[in-house]
Chain A
Amino acid sequence: MNLFKLVWAFIRRRPLTWAFNVLTLSTGVALVLALVLVSQALDNRFRRDLADIDLVIGAKGSPLQIVLSAVFQMDTPTGNISLAEAERFTRSALVSRAVPVSMGDNVQGARIVGTTLDYPKLYGAELAAGRWWGQPMEAVLGASVAQRLGLHPGQSFVGAHGLVGSADLHRRFPYRVVGVLKPTGAVVDRLVLTDLGSVWQVHEHPDADERATDPNRREVTALLVKYRSAMGALMMPRLVAAVPDLQPAIPAIESARLFSLLGVGAEVLQGVGAAILGLAAIGFFIALFGAVSQRRRDLALLRALGARPSLLLMIVALESALLGLAGGLIGVAAGRALAAYAGHVSMAAASGPTLIPPPAGAIDLAAIGAALALALVASIGPAVIAARTDPARELAGA
């Protein structure tokens, strides 16, 4: 005979009540945990994509759109900017590094980005196979693109016009795969990288040969800028804004705005999760209260057998704690599954950012601990009532 056996015997007498309350508790835990995991995954994802980019210079338009298109590769660009104008900033003393990006084509939904070798360096991307590009029409594939399209170094593909899949193929300008990147967890995984010159070559009108050779007319989509010092943050946006066709966009500000937009939905769901947790706490309280009143005479019997009031208190607290623990464990398992499913759904949505929830750790323990604490708090009142059982009243009242 031991305390656990005794408590288990009590729990078994009310299987449906407890099944329902554990279900409620685990639902609340799962919902809150899944939301925290998904928002952490989003946060990590965006943080990685932001790399060290302090400023994006794009064509006049919405700064949020510029950041979404040029950094996260999720929206269409606002337009193109003149390479000559952009290069004025590249050479500025305020800038330590400026990476041009040029978009316009895709291969089966994966964006083809013309850039320099500085771009993969932003994300610490390394080659898994092959080599970097050395001339126009050579391409290096991000890890998930290579896997999805089944392309290896040496093979060729043609791009399609636009940023999503289309039938408008540039058959005259096939790309040759020269390298494949290792996974980085960042935006480069789902991009096809190539030389800036490739994009010009593919898009220049066949009749206008002089444009191809005129460097003053060349365009890029955006310039990703890293400042040399804090002075850059003070000066650069104003300098860029002064140029009529250019729009400065600060990724830190725009992604904060984006999060505040997404945050509303997350807050609502988090509120729902908290409400379910509150309901679970009330459910535990009511169930324990009912259990204690139902077993008054059993508790009185234990007192007659020599049990101290503290033992009756512990029985109720342990009963609640065991069920709270069960709710926490089930909730964490379900929350993990929910977050993994959300990540999977976002992956399935073609070129959307893949979400990888953070690995199991402190947050899961915290969720289980919270469920346990909630159950224990709910048990305080009923446990005290149990401890105050008056054996004379229960045993003589028959």
Chain B
Amino acid sequence: MLLAEDLEAGRGDRPVARLSALSVKAGEAALLLGPSGAGKTTLLLALAGLAKSFSGRVRIADTDILALRGAALDRFRGRHIGFVFQDIHLLPGLSALDNLLLSPFAAGVAQDRERARALLASLGLGDKAERAAERLSRGEAQRAAIARAMLLRPQLILADEPTASLDDPAADSVATLLLQAAAETGAALVVATHDARLKARIANQVMVEAAA
């Protein structure tokens, strides 16, 4: 489902990190490992065309993502890639449900409220769908963000340090939720992390290299 080779990504005019080879099947997961500041997030964003890539190839299903530009890239990202960030989960001022619907709204596709509600319920947030985002706990907000990443049945889910600053049980349950999300939607899951606890859960691991 996801295939990346010799990807060099960076910001500005020079590459900062390199990924020699990464392959993830539908419904399965991979870890993007490396110390803090190694460029894991930048590589993760480059997989979605959000960060600048300098060389290499990235295919998501049958699409060459690095060949997409502008509106076509935005459309593809909105429809086929889900994101879970480290600490930017929800937009305050909107309910949990509306935060889920932000994804189809931004992508310009039909908003399936029933599926959004069902996803929230399946993640234990059934009674909090109408609650304002700022009134959810950190964990609840993160779960809502995972639900949002699943909403459009993406081909790829990208998670950036999802377990950083979580205690062991919480980190474990987030890992479980992410793996379930990938399995249920048939997406390839890539988790960028330096959290050693995740290594036990996900065998497909790739180290980020410094750019040449």
Q: Does A311 contact B (CB under 8 A)?
A: yes
Is B78 touching A13 in the complex (CB atoms < 8 A)?
no
Q: Are A396 and B94 in contact (CB under 8 A)?
A: no
In the bound assembly, the distance between CA atoms of A396 and B48 in angstroms comes to: 13
Q: Is the CB of A307 within 8 A of B85?
A: no
Chain B residues near A302 (CB-CB < 8 A): 102, 106
> How many residues in A have their beta carbons less than 8 Å from beta carbons of B?
27
Segment touching B, from A3-11, A49-57, A223-231 = A3-11
Do residues B98 and A5 form an inter-chain contact, with CB atoms below 8 A?
A: yes
With A305-B103, A307-B74 already in contact, the answer to whether A396 and B45 are too (CB < 8 A) is yes
Do residues A305 and B91 form an inter-chain contact, with CB atoms below 8 A?
no
Structural contact, A6 and B88, CB atoms closer than 8 A? no
Give the A-B pair count, Cβ closer than 8 A: 88
Check if B201 is an interface residue, CB within 8 A of chain A.
no
Contact A6 B85 (CB under 8 A): no
Q: In whole Å, how far is A298's beta carbon from the nearest beta carbon of chain B?
A: 6
**A349-391 CB contacts (< 8 Å) to partner B:** 391
Nearest neighbor of B134 in chain A, beta-carbon distance: A13
Q: By the criterion CB–CB under 8 Å, are A393 and B11 in contact?
A: yes
A5 to chain B minimum Cβ distance, whole angstroms, is 6
- Tell me, yes or no, whether A348 is within 8 Å of chain B by CB: no
Residues of B within 8 A of A13 (CB): 92-93
A307-B106 contact, Cβ under 8 Å, with A392-B45, A396-B45, A398-B86 = yes
Report how far A305 CA is from B152 CA in the complex, Å. Answer: 11
Interface string of A297-322 (1 = CB under 8 A from B): 11011111111100100000000000
Please judge, given known A-B contacts A304-B77, A305-B107, whether A395 and B45 are in contact too, CB under 8 Å.
Answer: yes
Partner of B52, one of A5, A311, A392: A392
Give the shortest distance, in Å, between B92 (CB) and chain A (any CB): 6
Tell me the complex Cα distance, A301–B160, Å. Answer: 13
Contact B51 A396, beta carbon cutoff 8 Å: yes
Query: What chain A residues lie within 8 Å of B94 (beta carbons)?
Result: 1, 5-6, 9
Q: Which residues of A contact B91 (CB under 8 A)?
A: 6, 9, 298, 301
Q: Tell me whether A303 and B79 are in contact (CB under 8 A).
A: no
Q: Contacts A1-B101, A392-B50 hold; do A308 and B74 have CB atoms under 8 A apart?
A: yes
Given contact pairs A1-B102, A392-B11, A393-B11, A304 touches B107 in the complex (Cβ within 8 A): no
A306 & B106 in contact (Cβ 8 Å cutoff) = yes
A311 to chain B, nearest CB (A): 7
CA A300 to CA B51, docked complex, whole Å: 12
Q: A395-B85, A396-B51 are in contact. Are A306 and B75 (CB under 8 A)?
A: yes
B205 contacts chain A at the CB level, 8 A cutoff:
no
Tell me whether A2 is interfacial, beta carbon within 8 Å.
yes
Tell whether A303 pairs with B102 under 8 Å between CB atoms, given A9-B92, A395-B88: no
A396 touches B41 (CB 8 A): yes
Choose one: B48, B103, B106; the contact of A311 (CB below 8 Å). B106
Given contacts A302-B102, A395-B50, contact A12 B79 (CB under 8 A): no
B83 touches A305 (CB 8 A): yes
The CA-CA distance from A300 to B86 in the complex, in Å, is 14
A304 engages B86 (CB within 8 Å): no
Q: Which of A1, A8, A10, A13 has the most CB of B within 10 A?
A: A1
Whole-angstrom CA separation of A8 from B95 in the bound complex: 12
Q: How far is the CA of A9 from the CA of B45 in the complex (A)?
A: 27
Q: What distance in Å separates the Cβ of A294 from its nearest Cβ neighbour in chain B? A: 11
Q: Is B163 an interface residue (CB 8 A)?
A: no
Closest chain A CB from B70 CB (angstroms) = 8
Q: Which of A285-299 contact B (CB under 8 A)?
A: 297-298
Please, which residues of chain B bring their CB within 8 A of the CB of A2?
105
Q: Which residue of B lies closest to A295 (CB)?
A: B91
- Give CA–CA (A387, B88) in the complex, Å: 19
Q: State whether A306 touches B108 (Cβ < 8 A).
A: yes
| Shortest Cβ distance from residue A85 to the other chain B in the assembled complex, whole angstroms | 82
Residue of B nearest to A312 (CB): B106
- In the complex, what residues of B have CB within 8 A of residue A5's CB? 94, 98
A residues apposed to B, CB below 8 Å: 1-2, 5-6, 8-10, 12-13, 297-298, 300-308, 311, 391-393, 395-396, 398
List 14 interface pairs A-B (beta carbons < 8 Å), by A numbering. A1-B101, A6-B91, A6-B94, A12-B93, A302-B106, A305-B77, A305-B78, A305-B83, A305-B106, A306-B74, A306-B77, A391-B45, A392-B51, A398-B88
Give the 8 A-B residue pairs with the shortest CB-CB distance, closest first.
Answer: A306-B78, A9-B93, A306-B107, A1-B101, A392-B51, A305-B106, A307-B106, A1-B105
